Amino acid sequence: MLDINRISKTFNRGTVNEKRALSGLDLHLAEGDFVTVIGGNGAGKSTMLNAIAGTWFVDEGSLLIDGTDVTRLPEHRRAAYLGRVFQDPMTGTAASMQIEENLALAARRGKHRNLRKGITSKEREAYREQLKILELGLEDRLTTGVGLLSGGQRQALTLLMATLQKPKLLLLDEHTAALDPKTAAKVLEATDKIVGRDNLTTIMITHNMKDAIHHGNRLVMMHEGHIIYDVSGEEKRKLTVSDLLHKFEEASGGEFANDRMMLA
Amino acid sequence: MNIMALFNALPGACAQGLIWGIMAIGVFITYWILDLADLTVDGTMCTGGAVCIMMMLSGYNVWVSLLAAFLAGMLAGLVTGLLHTAFGIPAILAGILSQLGLYSINLRIMDNKANQAISVDKYSLLVSLRYIKGVPFYRNTLLIALLIIALLIGLLYWFFGTELGCSIRATGSNPNMSRAQGINTDLTKIVGLMLSNGIVAFASGLYAQYQGFADINAGRGAIVIGLAAVIIGQVVFGRIHGNFAFKLLSVAMGGVIYYLVLQVVLWLGLNANDLKLISAMIVAIFLAIPYLKGKHFSKPVKKGGANRA
Ligand SMILES: Nc1ncnc2c1ncn2[C@@H]1O[C@H](COP(=O)(O)OP(=O)(O)O)[C@@H](O)[C@H]1O
Ligand SMILES: [Mg+2]
Region for B117 from its dihedrals, namely left if φ exceeds 0, alpha if ψ lies in -120 to 50, beta otherwise: beta
Percent pLDDT > 70 in chain B is 94
Domain assignment present for residue B298? The answer is no
Residue A134 burial (C-beta neighbours within 10 Å; 0-12, 13-18, 19+)? buried
Nearest to B182 by CA among A142, A241, A165, A175: A165
What pLDDT, on the 0 to 100 scale, is given for residue B93? 97
Domain assignment present for residue B190? The answer is yes
What pLDDT, on the 0 to 100 scale, is given for residue B39? 97
- Cα–Cα distance for residue pair B109/B98, rounded to 1 Å: 16
Is residue B23 within 8 Å of residue B226, measured between CB atoms?
A: yes
What pLDDT, on the 0 to 100 scale, is given for residue B240? 63
Q: Please report the domains of chain A, with CATH numbers, ordered by start residue.
A: 2-10+26-96+150-262 (3.40.50.300)
What pLDDT, on the 0 to 100 scale, is given for residue A262? 47
Residue B301 predicted with pLDDT over 50: no
Domain assignment present for residue B111? The answer is yes
Task: Collect all residues of chain B within an 8 Å Cβ-Cβ radius of residue A111.
Answer: 182
What pLDDT, on the 0 to 100 scale, is given for residue A196? 95
Residue B112 predicted with pLDDT over 60: yes
A29 lines ligand 1 (CB under 6 A): no
C-beta atoms of B167 and A149 within 8 A: no
- Mean pLDDT to the nearest integer, B178-199: 97
Is residue B228 within 8 Å of residue B256, measured between CB atoms?
A: no
What burial letters (b/e) apply to B14-25, b meaning 16+ CB within 10 Å?
A: bbbbbbbbbbbb
- Cα–Cα distance for residue pair B135/B101, rounded to 1 Å: 40
N-term to C-term CA, chain A: 30
What pLDDT, on the 0 to 100 scale, is given for residue B44? 98
A55 lines ligand 1 (CB under 6 A): no
User: Positive or negative CA dihedral for B83, B87, B91, B94?
Assistant: negative
User: Positive or negative CA dihedral for A38, A40, A44, A50?
Assistant: positive
Size of interface A-B (CB pairs under 8 A): 119
Measured in whole angstroms, the distance separating CA B169 from the mean position of its chain's CA atoms is 18
Provide the 10 A C-beta neighbour count for residue B143. 17
Tell me the C-alpha to C-alpha distance, in Å, between residue B251 and each of A8, B32, B54, B206, B210: 50, 11, 29, 18, 20
Element (H, E) at B297: helix B275-297
Sequence letter at residue B195: L
Those of residues 97-126 in B touching chain A at CB distance below 8 A are none
What pLDDT, on the 0 to 100 scale, is given for residue A253? 67
- Cα–Cα distance for residue pair B61/B42, rounded to 1 Å: 26
- Mean pLDDT to the nearest integer, B142-152: 97
- Cα–Cα distance for residue pair B94/A117, rounded to 1 Å: 32
Domain assignment present for residue B307? The answer is no
What pLDDT, on the 0 to 100 scale, is given for residue B64? 98
What pLDDT, on the 0 to 100 scale, is given for residue B277? 84
State the DSSP string of B225-274.
HHHHHHHHHHHHHTTS---HHHHHHHHHHHHHHHHHHHHHHHHTT--GGG
- Cα–Cα distance for residue pair B185/A43, rounded to 1 Å: 30
Report how far ligand 2's centroid is from the alpha carbon of B185 (Å). 24
Strands A60-65 and A68-69, sheet pairing = antiparallel
Using CB atoms, pick whichever of A80, A94, A178 lies closest to residue B177: A94
The pLDDT-based confidence of B297 (bands split at 50, 70, 90) is low
The pLDDT-based confidence of B139 (bands split at 50, 70, 90) is very high
What pLDDT, on the 0 to 100 scale, is given for residue B271? 81
Domain assignment present for residue B217? The answer is yes
State the DSSP string of A206-242.
-S-HHHHHHSSSEEEEEETTEEEEEEEHHHHHT--HH
* Interval B8-56: pLDDT, tens: 889 999 999 999 999 999 999 999 999 999 999 999 999 999 999 999 9
- Cα–Cα distance for residue pair A121/B41, rounded to 1 Å: 38
Q: Which domain holds residue B251?
A: 3-292
Q: Which CATH number does the domain housing residue B56 bear?
A: 1.10.3470
Measured in whole angstroms, the distance separating CA B77 from the mean position of its chain's CA atoms is 13
How many structural domains comprise chain B?
Answer: 1
pLDDT top residue among B234 and A263: B234
Residue B170 predicted with pLDDT over 60: yes
Task: Collect all residues of chain A within an 8 Å Cβ-Cβ radius of residue B172.
Answer: 96
What pLDDT, on the 0 to 100 scale, is given for residue B237? 86
For residue A5, the cross-strand partners are A62
Determine which of A113, A165, A171 to mutate to test the interface with B (most B C-beta atoms within 10 Å): A113
- Cα–Cα distance for residue pair A122/A114, rounded to 1 Å: 18
- Mean pLDDT to the nearest integer, B67-84: 98
What pTM does this model have? 0.91
- With CA atoms as reference, the chain A residue closest to B174 would be A94
| Local mean pLDDT, 10-residue blocks, chain A (264 residues) | 96 94 96 95 95 96 96 96 95 95 96 94 95 92 94 95 96 94 92 95 94 94 93 89 85 58 48
- Cα–Cα distance for residue pair B68/B48, rounded to 1 Å: 8
Residue A169 burial (C-beta neighbours within 10 Å; 0-12, 13-18, 19+)? buried
